[in-house]
Chain A
Amino acid sequence: MNMRKYALAASLAAIGLSFTLTAPVHAQAKGKQAQEQFFPVLVYRTGAYAPNGAPWANGFVDYIKLVNATGGINGVKATFEECETGYATDRSVECYERLKNKGGGATAFQSLSTGATFALTEKAPVDKIPLITAGYGRSESANGAVFTWNFPLLGTYWVGADVLIQHLAKKEGGFDKLKGKKIALVYHDSPYGKEPIPLLQERARMHGFELSLLPVAHPGVEQKSTWLQIRQNRPDYVLLWGWGVMNSTSLKEAQATGYPREKMYGIWWAGAEPDVKDVGEGAKGYSALTLQHGAEPNAKVVKDILAQVHAKGQGTGPKDEVGSVLYMRGLISAMLGVEGVKRAQERYGKGKTMTGEQTRWGLENLDLDQKKLDGLGFAGVMRPVQTSCLDHMGSSWVRVHTWDGSKWNFSSDWYQADDKVIRPMVMLTSARYAEEKKITPRTPEQCKQ
Chain B
Amino acid sequence: MIYRENGQFKTSYAADQQIFPILQDRWAILGILVFAFVAVPLLADEYMFRAILIPFLILSLAALGVNLLVGYCGQITLGAGAFMAVGAYAAYNFFIRVDGMPLIGALLLGGFTSAAVGVVFGVPSLRVRGLYLAVATLAAQFFWDWAFLRIKWFTNYSSSGSVSVSNLSLFGFPVESPTEKYLFCLAVLVVFALLAKNMTRGAIGRQWMAIRDMDVAAEVIGIRPMYAKLSAFAVSSFFLGVAGGLWGFVHLGAWEPAAFSLDRSFQLLFMVIIGGLGSIMGSFFGAAFIVILPIFLNQMLPWLGDLVGVSISTAGVSHAEIMIFGALIVFFLIVEPHGIARLWSTAKEKLRLWPFPH
Identify the A interface with B (CB < 8 A): 2, 4-6, 8-9, 12, 15-16, 19-20, 22-24, 26-27, 43, 45-46, 50, 54, 57, 82-84, 86, 89-90, 93-94, 97-98, 101, 114-115, 118-119, 121-123, 126, 138-140, 189-192, 194-195, 197-198, 215, 218, 429, 436-438
Contacts and interface: CB of A to CB of B under 8 A. Distances in A.
B296 interface: yes
Interface string B256-297: 101101000000000000000000000000001000110110
B255 A89 contact: yes
Interface stretch (B71-79, B81-89, B298-306): B298-306
Given A23-B47, A94-B51, A190-B258, A114 B160 contact: yes
A269 to B, nearest CB: 15
B219 interface: no
B176 A45 contact: no
B347 A9 contact: yes
A98 B298 CA distance: 11
B37 to A, nearest CB: 17
Contacts, number: 133
B27 to A, nearest CB: 19
Interface stretch (B109-117, B188-196, B202-210, B309-317): B309-317
Interface in B291-350: 292-293, 295-296, 298-300, 303, 313-315, 317-319, 322, 335-336, 340, 343-344, 346-347, 350
Contact of A191 (B48, B160, B315): B160
B252 interface: yes
B286 to A, nearest CB: 13
A123 B253 contact: yes
B343 A122 contact: no
B160 A84 contact: no
B6 interface: no
Given A5-B350, A19-B296, A194-B160, A45 B256 contact: no
B51 to A, nearest CB: 4
Nearest to A193: B160
B47 A98 contact: yes
B256 A191 contact: yes
28 contacts: A2-B350, A5-B343, A5-B346, A6-B347, A9-B347, A16-B292, A27-B47, A45-B313, A45-B315, A46-B319, A83-B314, A84-B314, A89-B252, A89-B255, A90-B251, A93-B251, A97-B50, A118-B160, A119-B252, A123-B253, A138-B160, A140-B159, A189-B149, A191-B256, A194-B159, A195-B160, A215-B149, A218-B258
B315 A84 contact: yes
Contacts of A50: 315
Given A8-B343, A43-B314, A89-B258, A122 B46 contact: no
B161 interface: yes
A23 B299 contact: yes
Closest 7 CB pairs of A and B: A45-B315, A191-B160, A122-B253, A97-B51, A118-B254, A82-B314, A84-B318
Given A115-B162, A195-B159, A215-B149, A84 B298 contact: yes
A215 B45 CA distance: 42
B262 to A, nearest CB: 10
Nearest to A94: B51
Contacts of A121: 164, 254
A176 B47 CA distance: 55
B166 interface: yes
Contact of A5 (B253, B255, B347): B347
A26 B358 CA distance: 41
Contacts of A139: 159
A97 B47 contact: yes
Contacts of B350: 2, 5-6
Contact of B55 (A54, A90, A122, A429): A90
Interface in B137-169: 149, 159-162, 164, 166-167
B51 A22 contact: no
Nearest to B157: A432
A372 B46 CA distance: 39
Nearest to B47: A97
Nearest to A27: B47
Contact of A46 (B48, B159, B318): B318
A27 B48 CA distance: 12
Contact of B166 (A82, A122, A198): A122
Contacts of B258: 89, 115, 190, 218
B7 interface: no
B31 to A, nearest CB: 15
A161 B176 CA distance: 37
Contacts of B288: 16
B315 A22 contact: no
Contact of B162 (A27, A84, A191): A191
Nearest to A54: B315
A320 B288 CA distance: 43
Contact of A119 (B176, B254, B313): B254
Given A8-B335, A119-B252, A97 B96 contact: no
B174 to A, nearest CB: 12
Contact of B292 (A19, A83, A101, A198): A19
B305 to A, nearest CB: 12
